[in-house]
Chains A and B, each alone.
Chain A
Amino acid sequence: MSLNKLSVVACFILSKANVFAQQNLFPKDTIKAQNLEKVVLVHKDNVMSLSKKLFSVAVISKKDIEQTAANNLADVLTQNLNITVTPDASTGKSTVSMFGLDGQYVKILIDGIPIASDNGMGNNIDISQINLEDVNRIEVGEGAMGVLYGDNAVAGVINIVTERRQRHKWQIQASVQEESIGKEYNISDKGRHIQNFKVSNNLNEHINYTLGVSRNNFNGFYNGYQGKDYVNIVDGAVKNDTLRGTEWNPKEQITYFANANINIGKHNIFYKFQYFDESVDVYNRFVTGRKQEDGSLKATAVDETFDTNRIVNNVTITGPLKGETNYNLFLSQQNQKRYYQQYTYNILLQGIEGYNTDAISQSSDVWFSKGFISNIVPNSTFFNLQVGYEFSWQEGFDAIATGDYSNDVVVNTLNNYDFFSVADFYINKRLSLYPGARITNNSQFGNKFIWSLSSIYKITDSFNTKAVFGSAFRAPNFTELFYYFVDANHNVQGNKNLQPEDGISILLNFNKSTRLTKQSTLKTALKGYYFDIDNKIGDITIVEEDGSNLFTYANIDNSKIAGISLDNTYSYKNLSLGLGATYMGESTTISTTDTSNSDYLWSYNIQSNINYKIPSIKTTFSGQIKYTGRTQVLLGDNTGSGAINIGQTDSFTWLDASVRKDITQNINLTFGARNILDVVTVNASDVAAEGHSNPANNRLFGNGRSYFLKLLINLNLN
């Protein structure tokens, strides 16, 4: 009831923002100020940034994050034009897909260092686990970036840059955020409750540090399900109506973070620590109701808890080596463990009877080191060079990826020894070329060569073109390598001899910045892209000598993705407006089937945003809308008939709006609504079936329209 009222307010605010947008108020040269700020930033922490020279990079600023009250990376990336965030209701994981390539092809970094994932480095990351409380900005780099970032950087790289220094001697920040999940909210066990606390101190001009903690308590989305204490008993027996549990599983995340920034002369040491703890509860829909000898009924369900712990220790050291030549050194130690508990929950007595499993189901230990020397030829106006290495040592296992029936939990060791170099050729004032190469030696599949070529051509000072050719590969994952399920009726096994998938991308960028009037500018970016993923891993059926069938994986498929996107940003005084669209097609060849499909399956996305600031009332209004068009995928056929099916996910639109107001100098309030169009499920015919059950005909995308209110208190002491 009160929520309906809130939505009316939100709509009012939105329409109001549009009205304001057409008026010319508060002239101020904000663009100039922004440019200045960038120049300052570049020198400070560019070592942790994605290179805008070599790649096409978009930035999500701290302001954007604050405006949407985003707590984790999933909250903020839903509005990105070329990224689709795919949440999984059962595991609670959210993964990204970029240009139609899933999370295994996207590499996620913190300050230039890949995040240890379940069984790899940086890819297939659950982005809902990436807390944004100490983040300065998020950089999204598009295209294959294997030369600088190694394996799995096929579709692109997302780099999260930590806030390193602030102006005041002491900064203390605390915030609470209350959020509904759809229409569900109460203070104790429904809705989403977030608390953050952070202290930063500039100890002296050489040393500053930050300590903080962030807690995100998501109580699950019930959506008609009845929770963990529900059981339906009819005629003295349990009736399984599958209403137990929740639609989206509840989870609680706590992130502790600390960092220290130390300057010794011209050398800089940056240390970052993070401890992340997440617990996801999974309630079984099915209840076992056993009769007791006395005629009473005992209703139990086998429930699960997944508890993920991650510790990150990152050190970055930079400084001048000789003259203008710089060294950059990255060291990282990361450890991730997932504890799995399976227990018997007695529904009528509302307690746990005992634990079936209480074990570590996944573990990975990572040591990482990367170093490069840049600006080796500082005095040449024609040539420059950067050379570097990247080593990683990873050891781990994943009992869930290898399947219930796998007797031996495979402990896998994966070592990478890479060397890379990028050269700069400044042909003339307008044209520059940046060829690069990397040699990878991987303990699993041997040597790989990766190359890239970027070029920038400045047509005028405000109109430039950038072409980026790059290659990268995706390493096979644990399931593909080691899965094992063999019994009387099944024979499904991973393939230890899989090779990486080879990806090549071509990106063409045209960027034009036009000053329309003294106070307004229009930035236009036109982008064409093409990806070719060869030796793509697909599932195959092999008829063994005895005539039985083995289901396994092989490097047999090929995928081509082509597309074009156009992005416009219009700024006028305190107003900024964005409008973008992307049109993309994917052509897949599945080699196992006789008929291979080479037609492109097309889809398009449209994104628009508005941001309007009224300085007099210290209030910013913003709205974002993204239309994700119908996507189609080619599905293999496992009935043996050789037929090819096309599965699709219908279109959906994501609309968010928020208002942020500085109440006093120290207190500000953000109020907003997510998913205003109330998306919960989207019709889909490409959802994989689980086990022997029929596939669902829709995919869960959202929790319905939800509202949030965030109160932030910031205290600066000098």
Chain B
Amino acid sequence: MKKQLFIKLLCALFVFSSCSNDDSTNLIDFTVSFKNTTTSIIEGESEAAIDLNFSRAAATSGVIDLSYSVENAVYGTDFTTNPSGENGTISIPVASGDSKATVTLTKLTDPIEGTSRSIDFTIASLESSGWDYGANKTINVSFTPVASTGAVIDLLTGGSTQPNQSYIDLSTGKQTPVKRDTWEIAVYNGTENRVFLNSSLLVAAAELKGKTDLLSVTETSNLTETLTLNSWGAPTEVATVSELLVNLPVGYSQFSNVEQGIVFTDSKEGNIDETAFSEISTTASENNVYIVSLGNEIPTDAAAAGALNTTGEHRGYVKVRVLTDGNSYTIRYADLNETTTYKELVVQKNSSKVKTAISLTNDGVVEVEPESSKWDLNFSGVFSYSSGGYGLTYSDYGLHNTLGNVGLYQVLTYKVEDDVRTDLEVSSYIDFQLSNVDDASFIYDNQTVIASDWRNSGDGIAKDDRYYIIKDNEGNLYKLRFTALLSSSGERGYSQFEYKKLN
């Protein structure tokens, strides 16, 4: 009798204990979707990459078949695709582990002026079990430009080593990423004769007062006067070039003497009269030699999810002397201990751009900034400057084109003090409209209104307490808010914002 009871209870117990929950390991459905529903391939461009996004990495291999329909275009005459679509279907193989697929559209001819031309691509079938269609089954590719009234921008800063700075034109929605290490200095194309440093690469420069002979300066040279420079707040006597090199690079221990105005970086605000280089004089004898710390390499190893790895090995030093006649710059430079020959670049001022970037390591002008009217924001993976006696490095840094006459201001919706949240009497991002724009608030003398304050890197989020109003140099008004700091899988360097045109 008792034994029976025992066995019954035992059975009950095992039925009970076997109902454990094991839900969390289920993968989400695999779906395939065009990244967007419209895109354009405009004059001057010959290729467009059309992305098919997956909801997650493919667990099995398979094939995606696309069909297409054309308007005023002939395959093989006006365009081709890769993979080929010659027989009317484009078959894209997908390997296990892939997280997206891409069709490359190559334009062979431009459409005749006044006629429209477009191609519709449609996901016709998916050749693998369990695959499904996502939100965008069709994409329209137009051969004429489409004005942007707003978009979501996935910033192309390039991941946890933040290899790129990216220039963004809100009126076209076009983004131009440039590797941070392609240039070190840039010359100003305005009336004033100025030299800027590449703050996204931690470039720094020190003027050697009273030294105008480039080749006579070496590591062992004495300074014309002993400088008292501070590092970590501790004063150090610096009498030679080699002593100066110790803490010239950007870092917490970077030298400066704020009282005497000795700072080895450009100001963060980005104004032309606050640069490490003094104004370049048209009188050659007034232009001193500078030691330029070439910044730090972009590391090759990605960091773990949520973390960054942006500062690699130091790239060394060069000595530089810049001359000008008011219309062009003559840049003479050499390795620090070179005493026989120097290199020389002559760069004409280019009025269509704010700055012309120069590589002192690849010896020439580099395409970095788009034309001054064709970028509003520069989102730089890394940004550095000296402040309060320390050389500081920031990441995920937003700048606006103040020198190109772009204005921007921030709208704060609430603040938190001592754990108490106070909502401010402003519109939400969604409700903000043209009539809310305050023209007097646009800031033109500080490029770092966005800076890195828009995100909380410890928590890995874009803050939801602020958005921005932007006026571009053509008078277009936009509202902009950041939506994400991290990629969906938690990596840094894939931030995202969205914006909408207000007028």
- Which residues of A approach B to under 8 Å, CB–CB? 172, 174, 176, 187-189, 193, 195, 197, 215, 217, 228, 234-240, 242, 252, 281, 285-294, 296, 298, 300, 302, 342, 344-346, 349-354, 356-357, 404-405, 407, 487-489, 543, 546-549, 664-667, 691-693, 711, 713, 715
Contacts and interface: CB of A to CB of B under 8 A. Distances in A.
A487 B305 contact: no
Interface string B223-249: 000000001101010000000001100
A297 to B, nearest CB: 8
9 contacts: A281-B24, A288-B486, A294-B37, A351-B27, A353-B28, A354-B56, A487-B308, A547-B231, A666-B6
A643 B83 CA distance: 69
B136 A300 contact: no
B232 A488 contact: no
A350 B99 CA distance: 19
A189 B23 CA distance: 11
Contact of A294 (B29, B136, B310): B136
A302 B305 contact: yes
Interface of B: 2-3, 5-6, 9-10, 13, 16-17, 19-21, 24-29, 33-37, 55-57, 99, 135-136, 152, 154, 202, 231-232, 234, 236, 246-247, 250-253, 296, 301, 303-311, 392-393, 428-430, 458-461, 464, 481, 483-491, 496, 498
A487 B25 contact: no
Given A189-B21, A239-B464, A352-B28, A174 B13 contact: yes
Contacts of B308: 487
A686 B151 CA distance: 47
A290 B35 CA distance: 13
Nearest to B18: A195
A665 B9 CA distance: 15
A174 B25 CA distance: 30
A342 B305 contact: yes
Contacts of A487: 308-311
Interface centre among A193, A288, A302 (most CB of B within 10 A): A288
Contacts of A289: 483-484
B464 A240 contact: yes
Contacts of B135: 292, 294, 296
The 7 closest A-B pairs by CB, nearest first: A351-B28, A302-B490, A293-B36, A488-B311, A195-B17, A353-B56, A547-B253
Given A352-B27, A488-B393, A546 B464 contact: no
B253 A291 contact: no
Given A547-B253, A666-B2, A404 B496 contact: no
Given A174-B10, A285-B459, A294-B135, 11 more contacts: A187-B19, A293-B34, A296-B135, A342-B490, A404-B304, A405-B309, A487-B311, A489-B252, A548-B232, A549-B232, A692-B458
B8 to A, nearest CB: 10
Given A404-B304, A715-B3, A344 B498 contact: no
A239 B489 CA distance: 18
A240 B461 contact: yes
A216 to B, nearest CB: 11
Contact of B253 (A187, A345, A546): A546
Contact of B305 (A193, A237, A357, A693): A357
B138 to A, nearest CB: 11
A291 B27 contact: no
Contact of B310 (A176, A238, A285, A488): A488
Contact of A240 (B28, B252, B459): B459
A288 B485 contact: yes
A366 B253 CA distance: 45
A715 B9 CA distance: 12
B37 to A, nearest CB: 7
Nearest to A491: B252
Contacts of B56: 344, 346, 352-354
Nearest to B151: A293
A346 B31 CA distance: 13
A352 to B, nearest CB: 5
Given A235-B430, A302-B305, A349-B28, A546 B246 contact: yes
Nearest to A239: B464
Contacts of A352: 24-28, 56
Contacts of B458: 691-693
Given A290-B488, A353-B28, A547-B231, A174 B483 contact: no
B306 A546 contact: no
Contacts of A174: 9-10, 13
A353 B489 CA distance: 8
B460 A288 contact: yes
B484 A290 contact: yes
B24 A300 contact: no
Interface centre among B27, B28, B247 (most CB of A within 10 A): B28
Nearest to B10: A174
Contact of A288 (B5, B253, B484): B484
Contacts of B306: 302
B461 to A, nearest CB: 5
Residue in A291, A543, A693 whose Cβ sees the most chain B Cβ within 10 Å: A291
A215 B16 CA distance: 12
Nearest to A407: B301
Contacts of A287: 461
A293 B28 contact: no
Nearest to B230: A547
A375 B297 CA distance: 69
Given A294-B37, A302-B490, A547-B253, A356 B28 contact: no
B481 to A, nearest CB: 7
Given A354-B57, A404-B304, A291 B311 contact: no
A347 to B, nearest CB: 10
Contacts of B24: 228, 281, 345, 352
B430 A236 contact: yes
Given A487-B308, A546-B247, A547-B247, A715 B498 contact: no
B487 A288 contact: yes
Given A174-B9, A291-B483, A487-B311, A286 B460 contact: yes
A349 B461 contact: no
Contacts of B461: 240, 286-288
Contact of A349 (B5, B29, B430): B29
Contact of B489 (A215, A302, A488): A302
Contacts of B305: 302, 342, 356-357
Contacts of B25: 352
A205 to B, nearest CB: 26
B481 A237 contact: yes
A305 B202 CA distance: 38
A344 B304 contact: no
Contacts of B37: 293-294
Nearest to A287: B461
A176 B252 contact: no
B429 A715 contact: no
Nearest to B496: A290
Contacts of B491: 356
B464 A288 contact: no
A403 to B, nearest CB: 10
Contact of A713 (B9, B26, B136): B9
Given A195-B16, A195-B17, A239-B464, A405 B2 contact: no
